[in-house]
């Protein structure tokens, strides 16, 4: 005898179905697959035919698949860092406003279910779609590389790649939370989308310029680095670069005395993880705070038929 499904799980399944059938998700997924395929073909060609002409660490071939570039296309981590926010905002900018404008939200709320099931199912469904898409693309890159190169990733490389994919999901979840927040605040989906894109554009282009102009009289770059880390984009870029580049041994600026006598070497995964642990904590906190604000606003809003 089949047990009845939880109302929350039913709502999550419905949201997942709506997401994967929407044109915006299909277009985004096609864009990600197209850019990933182009980047992968280029890097595999470099590794196979021209490895002697570029600076590739042969002991970390699979990590180079995500970080190396021939200059014609940005590396995979840059593509994810650029397309990820767009994906998160696109999945979240109309989840509340569209339901409100169609009048369906009042019908759902009239059912005998807790009110927070509605907002939680929206976020959970989108997050599961993001997890599936990101990990599928990541494993597709690994599988294609194994078939093409005939080599397998080491355990250390596999841990780094899986952590990178997980942190990419957390990064996209922040922008998803931001999109849902604006969808909760604004009644028009277009306004919500523009607000989300404005925040992304601010951090992508203007934030680093403002920091550079504001603190150009500081005597060291440490203060600039700390201020730049207030940007989720900077946090993600630094986190993923350290994870996928084992030769990076610090997140700060080294003095000559610290560099003198140091032997070039790579860090194990556990040490790289310790370096980026503050970045991971900050990204998780930003995602939880953003969704928490959304949750509070939604629970206090008046819903009319």
Q: Which of 194, 190, 191, 164 is nearest to 79 (CA)?
A: 164
Domain assignment of residue 162, yes or no: yes
Range of 142's domain?
7-300
Domain for residue 277, yes or no?
yes
Q: What is the pLDDT of residue 221?
A: 57
Residue 305: inside a domain, yes or no? no
The verdict on residue 228 lying in a domain is yes
90 burial (CB, 10 Å; 0-12 / 13-18 / 19+) is buried
Task: Examine residue 233 and state whether it is found in any structural domain, yes or no.
Answer: yes
Give a yes or no: residue 194 inside a domain.
Answer: yes
Q: pLDDT at position 61, please?
A: 75
> How far is residue 164's CA from residue 270's CA, in Å, rounded to a whole number?
14
**pLDDT for position 37:** 83
The CA R_g of the chain, rounded to the nearest whole Å, is: 22
3-class secondary structure per residue, the chain: CCCCCCHHHHHHHHHHHHHHHCHHHHHHHHHHHHHHHHHHHHHHHHHHHCHHHCCCCHHHHHHHHHHCCCCCCCCHHHHHHHHHHHHHHHHHCCCCHHHHHHCHHHHHHCCCCCCHHHHHHHHHHHHHHHHHHHHHHHHHHHHHHHHHHCCCCCHHHHHHHHHHHHHHHHHHHHHHHHHHHHHHHCCCHHHHHHHHHHHHHHHHHHHHHHHHHHCCCCCCCHHHHHHHCCCHHHHHHHHHHHHHCCCCCCCCCCCHHHHCCCCCCCCCHHHHHHHHHHHHHHHHHHHHHHHHHHHHHHHHCCCCC
Short-list 192, 174, 175, CA closest to 183: 192
Confidence (pLDDT) at 294 = 93
Backbone angles phi, psi at 94, to 5 degrees: -125, 15
Q: Is residue 227, in this structure, part of any structural domain at all?
A: yes
Is pTM beyond 0.85 here? Answer: yes
Closest CA to 176 of 244, 219, 232: 232
Determine the pLDDT at residue 33.
85
Q: Kindly list the averaged pLDDT for each block of 10 residues, start to end, along the chain of length 305.
A: 69 89 86 83 71 52 78 80 90 88 80 87 93 91 83 86 93 95 90 93 87 62 72 90 82 46 67 89 93 92 69
Number of domains in the chain: 1
| 79 close to 254: Cβ distance less than 8 angstroms | no
2 within some domain: no
């Amino acid at each position: 005898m089949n047990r009845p499904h939880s109302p929350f799980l039913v709502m999550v399944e419905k949201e997942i179905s709506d997401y994967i059938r929407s044109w915006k998700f299909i277009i985004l997924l096609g864009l990600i697959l197209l850019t990933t395929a182009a980047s992968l073909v280029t890097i595999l060609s470099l590794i196979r035919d021209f490895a002697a002409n570029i600076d590739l660490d042969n002991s970390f071939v699979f990590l180079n698949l995500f970080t190396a570039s021939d200059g014609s296309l940005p590396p995979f981590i840059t593509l994810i860092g650029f397309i990820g926010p767009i994906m998160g905002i696109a999945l979240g900018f109309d989840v509340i406003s569209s339901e409100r404008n169609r009048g369906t939200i009042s019908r759902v709320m009239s059912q005998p279910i807790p009110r927070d099931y509605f907002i939680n199912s929206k976020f959970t469904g989108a997050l599961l779609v993001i997890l599936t898409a990101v990990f599928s693309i990541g494993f597709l890159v690994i599988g294609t590389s194994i078939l093409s190169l005939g080599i397998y990733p080491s355990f250390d490389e596999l841990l780094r790649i899986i952590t990178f994919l997980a942190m990419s999901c957390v990064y996209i979840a922040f922008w998803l939370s931001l999109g849902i927040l604006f969808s909760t605040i604004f009644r028009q989906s277009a306004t919500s989308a523009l607000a989300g894109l404005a925040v992304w554009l601010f951090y992508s282009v203007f934030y680093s310029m403002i920091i550079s102009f504001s603190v150009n009289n500081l005597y060291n770059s440490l203060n600039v680095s700390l201020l730049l880390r207030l940007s989720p984009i900077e946090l993600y870029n630094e986190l993923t670069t350290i994870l996928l580049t084992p030769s990076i041994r610090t997140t700060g600026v080294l003095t000559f005395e610290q560099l003198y006598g140091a032997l070039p070497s790579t860090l194990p995964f556990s040490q790289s993880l310790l370096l980026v642990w503050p970045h991971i904590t900050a990204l998780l906190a930003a995602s939880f705070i953003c969704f928490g604000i959304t949750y509070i606003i939604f629970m206090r809003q008046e819903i009319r038929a």
